[in-house]
Amino acid sequence: MAKEDLGLEITELRLGLPDTEHVSVANKNGEKKNKRVFSEIDGVGDENSSSGGGDRKMESKNQVVGWPPVCSYRKKNSVNEASKMYVKVSMDGAPFLRKMDLGLHKGYSDLAFALEKLFGCYGMVEALKNAENSEHVPIYEDKDGDWMLVGDVPWEMFMESCKRLRIMKRADAKGFGLQPKGSLKGFIESVGK
């Protein structure tokens, strides 16, 4: 799976400052000026981050390799069971479904990257931004049994109400005006899937 197209670099763990090359320079005092300050690696001081805004800050924080110094066994095994939110994820055309833990994700773009990785499909991130032009459309079934377009409500609200996810082919929704805010319940029933 070609990494370049998916922009996964943002989530890549790095030892250096994001988007900068590391150059070793000593100033007049012999002090090294390029000491990597933790907060810079953290992304907090990174004013130059382009797209993605708030979510990106959240994603690069806590991604300094090996910090805080908690051993990997402990990291994997200290997660609270109750905070796990596994939902089924289906994708049109895929022979089997997958399960994913919504609790592991910090926001919609994080979720989109994870969906792309799960099914090896492109364009999830684009789909969230611009429903009209993408090949796939992510929808979810909420607590009322309605099928909703992913991305309308705040993330926390989505996490609480999402019972399952489906990645639908845009082509199947042809003729259906995908206004950003709307319920697809009628559509699903009519297709009779």
Distance of CA 27 to the CA centre of its chain: 41
Residue number, 20 or 39, with CB nearest to other proteins: 39
Q: How many CA atoms lie within 13 A of 72 on its CB side?
A: 2
Q: Provide the edge-to-edge strand list for the sheet that holds 86-91.
A: 98-101, 86-91, 164-169, 136-141, 147-149
Nearer to other proteins, 98 or 106 (CB): 106
* CA atoms in the 13 A half-sphere facing the CB of 102: 18
Q: Which is nearer to other proteins, 17 or 91 (CB)?
A: 17
Assign 23 to helix, strand or coil: coil
Q: Give the nearest distance from C-beta 83 to other proteins in angstroms.
A: 8
Nearer to other proteins, 79 or 191 (CB): 79
Alpha-carbon gap, residue 157 to 54, rounded angstroms:
18
- Euclidean distance between CA atoms 27 and 160, whole angstroms: 53
**Given the rule CB under 8 A, which residues bind other proteins?**
15, 22, 24, 30-32, 35-39, 42, 61-62, 64-75, 77-82
Quote the least distance from Cβ 144 to other proteins, whole Å. Answer: 29
Which residue number, 36 or 117, has a Cβ lying nearer to other proteins?
36
Element (H, E) at 190: helix 185-191
The nearest distance, CB 3 to other proteins, in angstroms, is: 15
In the complex, minimum distance from the CB of residue 101 to other proteins, in angstroms, rounded to a whole number: 12
Q: How far is the CB of 24 from other proteins (least distance, A)?
A: 5
